[in-house]
Structure 1
Amino acid sequence: MTSPGFRPTHVVPQRGMPAWEEPDPARPTVPLDAFLPVQLVERRGDWGHVLCANGWSAWVDGRFLVAVPRDPPTADGGPVTRTADPRPLLTRVERVLADYRSVVEDLVSGGLDGESFRARTSGLRIGAVVDGESMWLYDAEEGRWEYVDGARLTTYATDDGPRAAADDPGHAPTRVVTPDGP
């Protein structure tokens, strides 16, 4: 039986995992089964508080939870539409990677010292994650991550988004929030 509004954010790793009543190793509880869908609702350091589909909750080592992939958000909440051709961004990523490779070759061959390496790589920025047919590319010129499904390019996140108050010692533990609430 699934609780209303339950949306898994993670699954338990294939070997299962131990669980605790509280974020305290002295308070173990029943281990979680392999591939059990869970919703991460809170983090305290490495500890993760998870909610299971049946409403049961436990604390686990959050580092080992496997994230459930989600479709990237769209601006209007509707279906993803073709927004841009991804090929120009792929070309820029390839160019920056080739430039970096060239500088690394010069460094390894002894043609550059550390200071020259730093100077020649200053300003080079790329990011790429390929997962099967899905890809995330960092567009350094625009300061944003783009999601590519092969034919479509959609903005996923920007550099000028909200900032976390990590330097504030009084901030509360991270609370994971979905569109349906915490």
Structure 2
Amino acid sequence: MTTPGFRPTHVVPPQGMPAWAAPDPAGATVPLDALLPVQLVDRRGDWGRIVCANGWSAWVDGRLLIAVPKDPPTPGGPLGNAPDPRPLLARAEADLARYRTAVEDLAAGELDGEAFRHRTRNLRIGVVVDGPDVWLYDEEQGQWVYGDGTGLSTYATDAGPRATAPPARAPTRLVAPEGER
């Protein structure tokens, strides 16, 4: 049964994902099916509370959800601000050029295997282009982002969800009885 007016904002990643009853990494509930349409209704840090078409709600690692494209803006309406993919593309090009140079130097005998490993240590590049779609690895953020030419959204991340901080409480104040002050 679908909840009236349900419109998904995201889908679960292709490998599925765990869900929790509360934004706490202990005690995962049932796993969510791959590409399940969900509506993201709340965020707390890395956590996102989702609602499924049948009304069931759970907490997930919100960074892993894949955004569903929104309707195009109406003519004359404001354009949305979306992260620009060009800086990530430029970094990927520069890193790929560094790697290519190291491979060429190794093939030419100018580097041995140890020097090649040293030169390419900590170099991480990730680019997949499939028509208008692009997946880029953002090494600084430790995440894969997806873009369709109009903006980027987090696709997957290297880290799991973090626990949320408990709500701040007012300090306890001791009050002495009237006669003891």
**Pairwise TM-score range, normalised by the shorter structure:** 0.3 to 0.5
TM value normalised by structure 1: 0.46
**Structure (1 or 2) with the larger CA radius of gyration:** 2
TM value normalised by structure 2: 0.46
